[in-house]
Structure 1
Amino acid sequence: MKTLARDEFRAPWLPFWIALAVRIVYMTVAHTWRFPAIEDHFSFGHEMGRIGHALATGYGYGDPFHGHTGPTAWLPPVYPLLIAASFKLFGVYSNLSAWVLLAINSLFSALTVRTVWEIARRSFSRSVATWSTWIWAIYPAAMQYAVKWVWETALTAFLFSLVLVLALRMRGIGEERHESPTLGEWLGFGFVWAVIALTNPSLLLFLPICGLWIVFGCPLRDWQSQAVKAVAAALIFIACVAPWTYRNWKSLHAFVPLRSNFGVELYLGNGPGSDGLEMGFEHPYMDPGQFALYRSMGEVPYSKMRGDKAKAYIGQHVGHFLHISLLRAYYFWAGLPRTTTRGVMKEYGPDINFDITTLLGLFGLALALRRRIPAAGLYACAFAVLPLTYYAVTISARFRHPLEPLMAIFTVYLIQSAEKRWTIWPWR
């Protein structure tokens, strides 16, 4: 692959503006900002919306379900704080707040256009970067979580693609000349990972792999200095996360580094009667009995109680746990089973799209590994590691979204590689 100067990897702005316009026009015209008022607007942000409501109305970071139940660490703070700011400025559960939050989601999704470009340009080619960028800009499946959900999904996908860009820059992938990463680059790397931790901690499994990949890519003589800089990045990460952990210690009287609901989610995915899908009917926001327990016990003891029950059940039914974990792995890549009938296209169209993008993305990754494309090993680690928590705990279609920018790139790479083969086939 031809190496280039760093300036050659700057993404064009036109796809970004087109992507942003398409998303904002769609969600405005389709009225996706109109959330129903049933269950006191719970579909508007769900638990994040509830926390934003509590913050905006003076009750602090708490109340993730119904009424005032006190402080919470059910979810990390970045996106609930964004919701709270919108509620303060534009009204609690108002249509204008919904529009603003979906517009912000659209901005994050559109910014992913630029990171997709740089990832593809550094590892593959300008042609792959161009097509991948336009696919992400206008393909409906790439924008669905931005224009319909008040949740952190679009932000998480952007942050993960951004941290991949930083890693590629620090390794100098595709560049003519490359010097070892600077202290400033390492500090930026640590800061972005801290934002990820405070947005969606599930991605943190990939952090040590990404950091070691950067260090081991440096000349052997620089390993000691790079290790020191990596420690500085770790300190920045800790300094950014520590205030949230300290707040949890003071408010919840327990050590909760990032979020407190793991035990509950573990039970909902693996308790008695589990079948690979989340048992939402036993969630505190749906089950009055469980909500009463949550309220009386307190968040941390309640989560520990449910987690202990889940672990005991798993220990007694290891075979069942392995079976439903394999089911969740299948659902992660093939899509969740449908529970309603909505007509042929609405019923099977999303599933076919989900399956096709999975197959093309995985085959494209396999081809990149076979051809030893730069950073293909790092991308493969992301595909292997990011879903692990979901395999063991719970599953949703949106959990795949952080990997979908890479899947768009691998799809284009696979198709373009096949086109070249087809072109020369008749002359063989």
Structure 2
Amino acid sequence: MKLPSLVDFRSPRVLPAVILLIGFVERVIFLALQGVQHALGEAENVALSVARDGSIADVFARGSGLTAHVNPVLPSLAGSVYRVFGVQSALSEWILALLSISTVLAAGAVFCRAAGVAGIPRPARLGALAIFALLPISPDLETISFRVWEGGLASLLGATVLLLALRADKAAALRYSHILVLSLTAAFLFFINPALGLAAYGVVGLLLLRRAHPRTWIGHGAIVVAVLAAVLTPWTIRNYEVFGRIMPLRGNFGLELAVGNHPAAMHPGQREAFVERLQTIHPLENQAAFDRMQAMGGEIPYAQAMGEEAKAWIHAHPGDFAQLCVRHAAQYYFPPRWQWNIYTGQISKSVLVRQPLLWTISALGLIGAFAALFAWRTRMLYLATLAVVPVLPYIITQPVPRYRYIVLLPLLFLGADFAYRLLRRLRPDRSALS
């Protein structure tokens, strides 16, 4: 007598849910083994400021004043949790960690659903989701850093933009309501993470080119612009009132440009040059730099001065700058070993596995992306846009692991699709692959 199964693994939703559940448990175990920790960096400092007095401030140290250096959303959320459950208490950190893990895995779930709408076969989708959920590619980011940094939330919003665009592409007719909902999601994503937000607007533009009649472009474009303006206006007004400048996003670009472009960056010892540069000009890393920033009138004048210094060097050394741009683009997709632990320089044994895994994902994903752009020209174009556009701002700055997380999902699913197509060609007789 055959007993009824409590779980039907043939259901299209059960196996992905099981994969995600195992991934959730894995991350919780990883976190438990690490012990109670809190995130580091500028965003954590702002979260502490929010917890103290509700201000978006003190990004470099207590007393550095109001800031536009980081996006305020995640630090505000973390600061609110701190105010209720204790500043950097075990309970607060577990709440934030579980939120971070849930956000990351929700991004994987939504992206998997979108990949199905795009036409990626189920075996390839499940394989990509399993790699994302079960293999420890970036556990420290997903369980610790993304409590206050935006990578997990940005990935979820990017996946949502993709799913909305693909469903609109498949609809019988493209409606203004499609563009309105897409515009709201893309605008919030652009505010959270401009690099992935830029890719989201590329997705919206691609949808209009594919499905909208040219006579409707002005109307659709007006919706996109109006929604973006509405989303950015409150933060822009706040920054104008605080700093006397129109800043719809952040005020740190000049500093980031200076960190990535300077004479020592051309030297072979890239880790040492990068760390030394941070410890020389970054106010979070160097007390003298912090004092200079305060003497110049705060973070905005200081970042602008650093940016002007970097631009002068770029203008005087265009060849070196071009070489750095190529290197930055390559490092964004294929991070060198030193970037896995920038400050200590000690490479753990796990990196010996994680680095080649990430390089393989990037290689297959980029092949799939360019195949979609230049050969297939199917709905996979939307995934390709999310995979290749976010690198653009980081070509002229120094990418680090947290910056590249936002392209992990599109590269992973594009790579899985490409590998599956290749396997089907090599083993066409295998019905199990169909």
Report the TM-score when normalising by structure 2.
0.85
Kept after mapping to 1: 8 A contact 2:58/2:67 = yes
State how 1:153-168 maps to structure 2 within 5 Å.
Answer: 153-168=151-166
Give the superposition deviation at 1:146. Answer: 1.3
**CA spacing shift, 1:30–1:381, aligned 2, 3 Å:** closer
Distance 2:415 2:138 in 1: 13
- Structure 2: how far apart are the matches of 1:357 and 1:363? 10
Aligned 8 A contact 1:23 1:147 in 2: no
Cross-structure match for 2:133: 137
State the shift of 1:75 in Å.
0.7
For 1:42-81, what aligned pairs fall within 5 Å after superposition? 44-58=39-53, 60-81=55-76
Task: Give the distance between the partners of 2:313 and 2:132, measured in 1 at CA.
Answer: 42
Matched, 1:384 2:385: no
User: Is the 8 Å Cα contact of residues 22 and 134 (structure 2) preserved in structure 1?
Assistant: no
Deviation for aligned residue 1:243: 0.2
Structure 1-normalised TM-score?
A: 0.86
Instruction: After TM superposition, give the deviation of residue 264 of structure 1 in Å.
Output: 0.7
Question: Which residue of 33, 36, 43 corresponds with 1:34?
Answer: 36
Deviations 1:95-123 (A, max 9, x none): 22221111111111111232222222122
In structure 1, the partner of 2:317 is: 317
Q: Which amino acid aligns with 1:381?
A: T
State the alpha-carbon separation in 1 of the partners of residues 246 and 371 from structure 2.
Answer: 44
- Name structure 2 gaps, 5 residues minimum: 1-10
Q: Name the SS for the 2:285 alignment partner.
A: coil
The letter of the residue matching 2:224 is: A
C-alpha RMSD over aligned residues = 2.5
- Which range moved further: 230-239 or 251-260? 230-239
User: 1:123-147, CA deviations, whole angstroms, 9 ceiling, x for partnerless residues?
Assistant: 2223333333333332322655212
1:420 to 420, 424, 428: 424
1:269 to 235, 260, 282: 260
The Cα shift of 1:307 comes to 0.7
Any idea what the Cα deviations from partners look like across 1:214-270, whole Å, max 9, x if unmatched? Answer: 1112253xx333531341232122112100010000011211111001111111111
Gaps (5+ residues) in structure 1? 1-9, 36-42, 173-177
| Cα distance in 1 between the residues matched to 2:374 and 2:188 | 34
Contact 2:125/2:417 (8 A) holds in 1: no
* SS state at 1:57 partner: helix
1:14 positional shift: 5.4
* 2:203 is the alignment partner of 1:210: yes
Does the C-alpha gap of structure 1 residues 91 and 17 become closer, same or farther in structure 2, counting only changes over 3 Å?
farther
1:365–1:410: 8 Å Cα contact kept in structure 2? yes
Are 1:350 and 2:354 an aligned pair?
yes
Q: How many residues align?
A: 402
- The answer to whether structure 1 residue 288 and structure 2 residue 287 are counterparts is yes
Q: Give the 3-state SS of the residue equivalent to 1:350 in structure 2.
A: helix
- Closer, same or farther in 2 for the Cα pair 1:110/1:230, shift >3 Å? same
Structure 1 pair 33–165 and aligned structure 2 pair: CA distance change class (3 A)? farther
Other-structure match for 2:13: 12
Q: Aligned residues: percent identity?
A: 22
Q: Deviations over 1:393-417 (max 9, x none)?
A: 1211232222211122122222222
**AA in 2 matched with 1:190:** S
